[in-house]
Amino acid sequence: MYARRSLRRFLRVIFRADGDSGAVPRENMQRDKVRFDVAVVGGGVVGALTARELKKYALSVAVLEAADDVAAGASKANSGIVHAGFDALPGTLKAKYNVAGNAAMEGVCCELGVPFARCGSLVVARSGEEAGLEALSERGRENGVEGLEIVGRDRLLQLEPHIAQEITAALYAPTGGIVCPYALTIAAMGNAMDNGAQLLCGFEVTGAQKSSDGWRLASADGREVSARIVVNCAGAGAERVAALFGDTFFHIGLRRGEYMLLDKSVGTFARHTVFSLPTKAGKGVLVTPTADGNLLVGPTSVEDGAYSTAVRREAFGEIAQRALAMLADIPFGQVITSFAGERAYSDRHDFILEWGAEGVFHAAGIESPGLTASPAIARDVAAQIAGALGAKGNAAFDPFRRSAHWFRELSREEKNAVIAQDPAYGKIVCRCEEVTLGEILDAMRQNPPARTLDGVKLRTRAGMGRCQSGFCQPAVFNELMREWGMTAEQVTKNGKTSFIIAGGEI
């Protein structure tokens, strides 16, 4: 984990005058044309980390996000697993970037103050399935994964006391880990913005026109951005965005994964990420601790013709049946919420990382292990873009960002010193997660600023506890109104028309 900064540095950062946020409100752009060296389309984990890596070079960078906040798609609704790298076929981009991303993840999280733990993973098997474990182990060794070991039931029970009776062996991968995916995305985007990148939310790219020195990109609301190079990191929308540039050489499919999240009181029920043997449909249902202390079970695998994050009623039974075949007595009575995310996969069933039309680079089809691979993908994509533009390094780049949860990590004495300077840190707003008013105000004032209830939730965890915002939502609602000068009718759950009060109109 990252080293704790001194209290003096904390106080200096907390109470300094705010600088340029890096966010460009749409009302300030109107129909103005803004020119950048690079425009990154998509504010998911790959887009955010790519923007951050690009700022390590002397380049002007804009991130164009269709939603009203970053981490709005798959990057806020996935398993949060840092895969070891034994599943991907040798020689594929998935295999290459999985192992490289796994190696890079801990350092990136350290710089960005993001929760990360190398808890290890287990692929479990029943009698007669041992050959599948051997095949995965051999594949992992070919991919360069270190420390792989096939363990019998006695050793397995030491690793996971709740292992199901039918399980006889497992492939143990100690390099597997867990990370908070939306925290990583938000922190990476914030660090990019702190270093000068611009974030344009609500900018759904609907038009692209070639110019003498790059591309002009238009949004549905009349804004326009010019860039010398465009990087397509649009996730589920990557195929549509590619077609705007005349690139039709790949197809994106959608596969929905549904999850159940259990309370922190049972967060240590599983010590590792536990998988069953993978199938053609994917890695299947898993049981894992999360980086924030919950227990996560899922996902399902539902082929979708259109984007949907609805959770089917039958999903609960499907998840429970498959999970209980791996671990016995999972305390499903402690489920506090369910959610679903769409995974965008390519018709190649591998990552697409290549140039298309002149000045357009596609980073598409980044399905699992895309989260794991994202730091390595971003590093290599940025290097290619910088090389194409002949960009020099940015000596002023600062890779460090204060943890979003810095206050709760302080000692009692340090907390009291902070509260003495700013009483807002002494007022608890979210009782379940013990989130203070000071932290909520931080979320609305640092990059990228939270402007919605979900935006505050993803940055602070206010509303993520057992009561699922039943207590704290009114207080957060009122703070959003005060901070942004909104009326009650303008506050939204996650942007656009998700108004809390029916009939609201921006």
Instruction: Kindly state the tokens that stand for 38.
Output: 């690079």
State yes or no: pLDDT of 294 exceeds 50. yes
205-229: buried (b, 16+ CB within 10 Å) or exposed (e) per residue?
A: beebeeeeebbbbbbeeebbbbbbb
For the chain, the average pLDDT equals: 93
Average pLDDT of span 431-439:
97
What confidence tier does 24 reach under pLDDT thresholds 50, 70, 90? low
Q: Is 3 exposed, middle or buried (0-12, 13-18, 19+ CB in 10 A)?
A: exposed
Residue (of 475, 480, 482, 435) closest to 459 by Cα position: 435
Please give the Cα distance from 43 to 201 (Å, whole number).
9
Cβ partners under 8 Å of residue 319, min gap 6: 258, 259, 260, 285, 297, 298, 299, 300
Q: How far apart are CA 454 and CA 451, in angstroms?
A: 8
Q: Kind and range of the H or E element at 168?
A: strand 167-173
pLDDT digits (tens, 9 = 90+) for 106-152: 999 999 999 999 999 999 999 999 999 999 999 999 999 999 999 99
pLDDT of residue 259 exceeding 60: yes
- Torsion angle of the four alpha carbons 268, 273, 274, 279, in this order, in degrees rounded to the nearest 10: 150
> Phi and psi (nearest 5°) for 232?
-90, 100
Rounded distance between C-alpha atoms, residue 484 and residue 481, angstroms: 6
For β-strands 224-232 and 214-219, DSSP reports them as antiparallel
What is the reported pLDDT for 283?
76
More confident residue, 206 or 279: 206
Asked which of 2-11, 123-132, 313-322 is least confident by mean pLDDT, the reply is: 2-11
pLDDT of 345: 97
φ/ψ of residue 437, rounded to 5: -60, -40
pLDDT of residue 23: 64
Categorize the per-residue pLDDT at 22 as very low, low, confident or very high, splitting at 50, 70 and 90.
low
Q: What is the pLDDT of residues 164-185, one digit of tens each?
A: 999 999 999 999 999 999 999 9
Higher pLDDT, 360 or 16: 360
Under the banding of pLDDT at 50, 70 and 90, the label for residue 278 is confident
Report the C-alpha gap between 86 and 146 in whole angstroms: 10
Which tokens is 68 given?
């009203």
Please classify residue 70 by burial: count the beta carbons closer than 10 Å to its beta carbon, then call 0-12 exposed, 13-18 middle and 19+ buried: buried
Mean of pLDDT values over 77-88: 97
Summarised one tens digit per residue, pLDDT across range 371-429 is 999 999 999 999 999 999 999 999 999 999 999 999 999 999 999 999 999 999 999 99
pTM (2 d.p.): 0.93
Q: Which of 380, 260, 402 is nearest to 331 (CA)?
A: 260
Helix, strand, or coil (residue 124): strand
At 502 the pLDDT is 80
Helix/strand/coil (H/E/C) assignment for every residue in 251-296: CEEEEEEEEEEECHHHCCCCCCEEEECCECCECCCEEEECCCCCEE
- Do residues 288 and 274 lie in contact, with contact meaning Cβ atoms separated by under 8 Å? yes
Q: Say whether pLDDT at 72 is over 90.
A: yes
Share of the chain above pLDDT 90, in %: 91
Characterize the bridge pairing of strands 198-201 and 177-179.
unpaired
- Map residue 311 onto helix, strand or coil: coil
Residue 255: count other Cβ atoms within 10 Å of its Cβ.
19
User: pLDDT category, 274, cuts 50, 70, 90?
Assistant: very high
pLDDT of res. 100: 98
Q: 192-222 pLDDT, tens per residue?
A: 999 999 999 999 999 999 999 999 999 999 9
CB atoms within 10 A of CB 123: 30
Confidence of residue 28 (pLDDT cuts 50, 70, 90): very low
Report the distance separating Cα 320 and Cα 327, nearest Å: 10
**Element spanning 369, H or E:** none
The pLDDT of residue 503 is 61
Question: What is the Rg, in whole angstroms, of the alpha carbon atoms belonging to the chain?
Answer: 22
DSSP 20: -
pLDDT in tens, 334-353: 999 999 999 999 999 999 99
Contact predicate 269/329, CB 8 Å? no
**CA-to-CA distance for 100 and 119, rounded, in angstroms?**
18
Q: How confident is residue 262, by pLDDT bands cut at 50, 70 and 90?
A: very high
CATH 3.30.9.10 domain residues, the chain: 117-177+253-344
Class of domain 117-177+253-344: alpha beta
Identify which of 238, 231, 234 has the alpha carbon closest to the alpha carbon of residue 348.
238
How many C-beta atoms lie closer than 10 Å to residue 14's C-beta? Answer: 16
Could you confirm whether 349 is annotated as catalytic? no
For the stretch 440-491, pLDDT in tens is 999 999 999 999 999 999 999 999 999 999 999 999 999 999 999 999 999 9
Amino acid 336: pLDDT: 98
Q: How many residues does the chain have?
A: 506
Mean pLDDT of 58-70: 98
Query: What is the band of 9 on the pLDDT scale with cuts at 50, 70, 90?
Result: very low
Q: State whether residue 403 is helix, strand or coil.
A: coil
